[in-house]
Amino acid sequence: MRMMVGGLAAALVLGLAASARAEEAAGDWVGVLATAPYGDVTMALHLKKDGGGYSGALDDVTLGFMNLRLGNLAVSGDHIAMAIPAAQATYEATWDPAAQQWAGLWKSQGAEAGLPLRFSRGLPPPAPRVAGLDGDWAGAVEMTSGIKMHLALHVVTTEAAGTTAKLDVAEQGSVAQPVSSITRDGDKVTFEMRYVGVRFAGVLDANGRIAGAWRQAGTESPLILARSVSAATPTVLNRPQTPTKPYPYREEAVVFDNAAAHVRLAGTLTLPQGKGPFPVAVLISGSGPNTRNEPVLGHQIFLVLADHLTRNGIAVLRYDKRGVGESTGDYSKATTQDFADDAEAAVRYLAARPDIDKRHIGLIGHSEGGLIVPIVAARDPAVSFIVMMAGPGVNGTDVYVEQARRIFQAMGATPEAVAKAATQRMAMIRIIQTTKDSAEVSAKVAALFGPNIAPSLIKTAVDTYNTDWFREFFAYDPQPALRKVHCPVLALNGDKDVQVSSAQNLPAIRAALAANRDVEIDEIPGLNHLFQTAKTGGLDEYAQIEETVAPVALDKITFWVARHTGAKAAVAAATR
């Protein structure tokens, strides 16, 4: 489930270009996007010929994001168009022969109007050189929630790029996150990560340490950075449940089409040993630009789940979302209903395979995926069962307001702070629902949160939530679709889930499915939104917990599916 937290994708401000004729497109291009009042963003585009077309990558030089994949890149005469999945944005331009530039509009998801963007041949200038900071630095900052974050700062100076820096945060599983800028003025050192509203300002002392303050979201915490040999090696997070090859089952790379949307989806089908036909489960991931394994902070949630199911006699299809990974399409324009259409295409694909038991094709959805599976089951009789893992049972507005309340509670915030967070979130949702103009949305959101929130975070919030996906989600009520589901249903939630509250959503799901005779609804003690065994359920725990999916959840899902499909795993799972 998407969170009201500025994410990496929403922070990127990107645009692309090519040349008027195919033979002129390859090479390097540079452009500047004016994003007042947030400042200019410099971008570099690197295109190369790839068979009969083009491929390439984009650098967001201002924020520090490099080698971003281009999607749906099309060059035709004097016109170019593409989607940028990481930015949830599109760019279209025509060649201006007089200026020798591509002139077009960069448009973020949900925006009514684009921003002018021109690209010329060339490369951006390197970052300024900063003397005396190259190397690896380590320190720890204690956040207002009481969580201590161990940081490693890596500074490098080269002839071509100037001085650049990356940051690791061990507790979040974040490695080599780009630092937007780093400067030194005498003994004063600063660096910024604008896309998350972070700024550090310190003083280099006689002992070679940088003592200063870490500022983020209106709060300030002391931080001392010292040179460290160990910081040169990023922390490798232990994920003991991630399976390693060779697997005791077959694995096949597959593609299937959602013909109506002109989308080709790429995925992995795992099949038990033997002839089949096999019962099968389609895994449908949560919100965000997820690939087939649903990766979260080093965890490969769907890889672990698929492995467990397939080892126990159940085939599994998992796939990249449209416009993500190896799948085509435009992720930035897609809504939950579009993703439901893609899931239904997966069902049709599996029904046509001779090694799949057509009587037993089911759907397992996590978070947003749990919202999608009843939509598909309500309209497609080929779906023989569904599993909702932390799926919403109430409308998206209620889910998100409760999410804010529980996240702040898990952080140890005061009751007053918890209430304020919920009130602000509701107010922001109302702004998104009632205001169309992006500039007006930005002004209202800035007024809502006040001067203590960095403008970059305001922009991140507006770019993220002023979208078709969120507007649909905030208004969508899952109850009508749930009432139309007649196949067997398993609905699971952890009682420590702060993103989709079990107390809020499981009773609503139970009520909507009252007429269905084969329903099991379980609240599992001690599990969070990822179905990990957790202490508080807070977001900061996701990376710290080594467990990817609790065995109790894996076994409950596997046994229930086996019991409803006749898979050979039923007895073994029940007796573990």
Contacts of 68 (CB under 8 A, 6+ apart): 12, 14, 57, 58, 59, 60, 84, 86, 87
| Per-residue pLDDT at 49 | 82
246-276 b/e with 16+ CB inside 10 Å = b? eeebeeeeeebebeebebbbbbbbbbbeeee
What whole-number distance in Å separates Cα of residue 223 and Cα of residue 211?
A: 6
What pLDDT sits at residue 569? 45
User: Left if phi > 0, otherwise alpha if psi is -120 to 50, otherwise beta: which for 298?
Assistant: left
- In 3D space, the residue among 493, 489, 573, 490 whose CA is nearest the CA of residue 530 turns out to be 493
CATH code of 135-232, in short, is: 2.40.128.120
Predicted pLDDT of residue 451:
74
List CB contacts of 369: < 8 A, sequence separation 6 or more.
283, 284, 285, 286, 389, 391
Contacts within 8 Å (CB) and 24+ apart, 244-251? 247/307, 247/310, 248/273, 248/311, 249/273, 249/310, 249/311
The pLDDT value given to residue 21: 44
Phi-psi region of 368 (alpha: psi -120 to 50; beta: other; left: phi over 0): alpha
Query: According to CATH, where is 3.40.50.1820 located in the chain?
Result: 250-394+477-574
Q: What is the pLDDT of residue 572?
A: 45
Tell me: domain 250-394+477-574, CATH 3.40.50.1820, correct?
Answer: yes
SS3 488: coil
pLDDT, residue 568, reads: 64
Q: What is the pLDDT of residue 13?
A: 32
Give the contacts of 107 (CB within 8 A, at least 6 positions apart). 89, 90, 91, 92, 113, 114, 115
Q: What are the φ/ψ torsions at residue 288 (nearest 5 degrees)?
A: 100, 165
Give the pLDDT confidence of 396-424 residue by residue, as tens digits. Answer: 999 999 999 998 888 888 899 899 999 99
Write out residues in the chain with pLDDT < 70, as ranges: 1-23, 36-38, 109-112, 144-147, 173, 217, 231-235, 452, 454, 568-576
Alpha helices in 365-395 (DSSP H): 368-379
pTM: 0.78
CATH match of 8-121 with 2.40.128.120: yes
Domain with CATH 2.40.128.120 in the chain: 8-121, 135-232
